[in-house]
Each structure stands twice: as structure tokens, then as C-alpha cells.
Amino acid sequence: MLNPLKLFRFNTASPSMELEHEPIDQLPSPDIVRNPQQIIRLLQDMSSPSERIHALALFEGSRSAIGIWDMQLQVDRHQCDFEVIPQRGQLIGKHLTVIANWHEYRMAFSSPIVSQYNQHHFAFDIPSEVIQLSGRNFYRVHPAHKTLATLLNANIQLKGELHDLSEGGIGIKLDALQLAQLSANASNKLIIEITGQRIGITHFSICNIQTPHQERLSRVGLVFDEMAAAEQFKLRRLLLQLQTRH
């Protein structure tokens, strides 16, 4: 089976290209997601009609990647349907490697083909692990279940759904009014409350705002520019709890 880590030099703006390998030691450290609920949630997001995913597929035995589109997650059948340009031969049982640009990071996984409806319509088994690579220096946790996070200081108290959390920052879903309030208070001290635990941030900044097409909420990324050692310890403990929570 092909190692997805060796494929991250794909330029997904191109529909087809030859493989380019990059030494593993030159790549940022990846996040490897193995929790089944987290994997399903990631695939659901990637399959959403409102998302614009640039993805490539590499069939086992091929040297060229091709574009993949119209991914449809079928949780009840434990598979994901997709379409590609017509392929020759019987491909059931062969592994498919998928690499996708999704917001600020890349994702990759390998999984066997379990259904072949015709020459361009296939389905792969839901993978047992997904590799995420963002070039960031911090390990990030994506909660397996819907988790609320509250951002508060002397001027604001904003509650939204937690998207991801790391020692270096947080991703949270906010509406337009909440985002405006947060922007007006950027660089101030901030307290983050998740599952009843509070983490104090001495200084933060907004680094990224993503608003999927036709959606009301934006995914807002905050960087923890400065925090006390005691608060950092509490954050690490919270990350461990979120990672092991089912």
C-alpha cells in the first residue's frame, strides 16, 4: 500500500500529474486521526455540497493521480462513493489513495475499493486512519463529538462549536456578529472555556477566517501568542482529555 505521506507535493490545482516524492524528514509532523467518529466527521465535511474540495485519487499500480469529485459518504454501508474519469479493468480490492486540500491543511488516506458501479463511479471503504498535514508546529485535536467552546473576557462572552484545538491556537465556529465582537477585542486577554475547564490566554490574535459557501457560521482560527506556563499545562491536559474522549 502506498504511503500517503510521500504524496504531499501534489499540486491539486492540476487534474492529473506524475508523482513527486519529498523526503519524509522535510515534511511537517502530521496529525494522525484514528478515532472512527472523528474520521466520519471529517469525511462528512469533505462530502458537504457547500465545501469546495480539491482532491486527487491515485489507484494502486498507477503512477498518475487524477481528479476526484462528487464524494458522497454512505455511513450505513461504511463506504464513500466518488466519481473519476473512466478507468479500465476490475479495481475492486485495490487500494485508493486520496489527497485533498481542505481549508488551511491537507489530508490523505488510503483505503480499498469496495464497489465499482461502472468505469467512472466507485466506492472506497471508510479508512481506519486519516493523515492531516498543515505545516503547523503543534498537534491539533478535532473533537469526535460536538463540543462547545466559550471565549470570554471583560468585554465579550461568545459561545461556538469547537472545530479544533492545539497548544498554539483554537478553531471555533462563530456567526457574523460574534466575529465582529471578537475582532474588536483582538489582542486582549482571553479565557477559553471547554467542557467546564478554563484556560487563560495572555495575548491572542485572529489568524484565519473561513466561511463555507452558503453557510451562516465562519470557522475562525485564533493564535495563542502568549500564555503562562501554568495555563499551558492545563491546556495540554485538556488536549489529552479531548483526544481520548469517545
What average pLDDT does this structure show over 128-142? 71
What average pLDDT does this structure show over 131-150? 75
Cell of 230: 501554568
Give 87-134 pLDDT, tens digit per residue.
888 899 999 988 887 655 678 888 999 999 999 999 999 999 888 765
Cell of 66: 487524477
Give 169-214 pLDDT, tens digit per residue.
999 999 999 999 999 887 678 999 999 999 999 999 998 898 887 7
HSE-CB at 178 with a 13 A cutoff on CA atoms is: 19
The number of angstroms, rounded, from the C-alpha of 210 to the middle of its chain's C-alpha atoms is: 13
The confidence score (pLDDT) of residue 19 equals 39
Q: How far is CA 54 from CA 10, 69, 97, 192, in A?
A: 11, 8, 14, 33
CATH for 4-133 (3.40.50.300, 3.50.50.60, 3.30.465.10, 2.30.110.10)? 2.30.110.10
The confidence score (pLDDT) of residue 55 equals 80
Q: Which CATH class is domain 140-244?
A: mainly beta
Cβ count near 105 (within 10 Å): 17
Q: Do 4-133 and 140-244 have matching folds?
A: no
Alpha helices in 139-228 (DSSP H): 176-184
With H, G, I as helix, E, B as strand and everything else as coil, classify residue 170: strand
Domains in the chain: boundaries: 4-133, 140-244
pTM for the full predicted model: 0.50
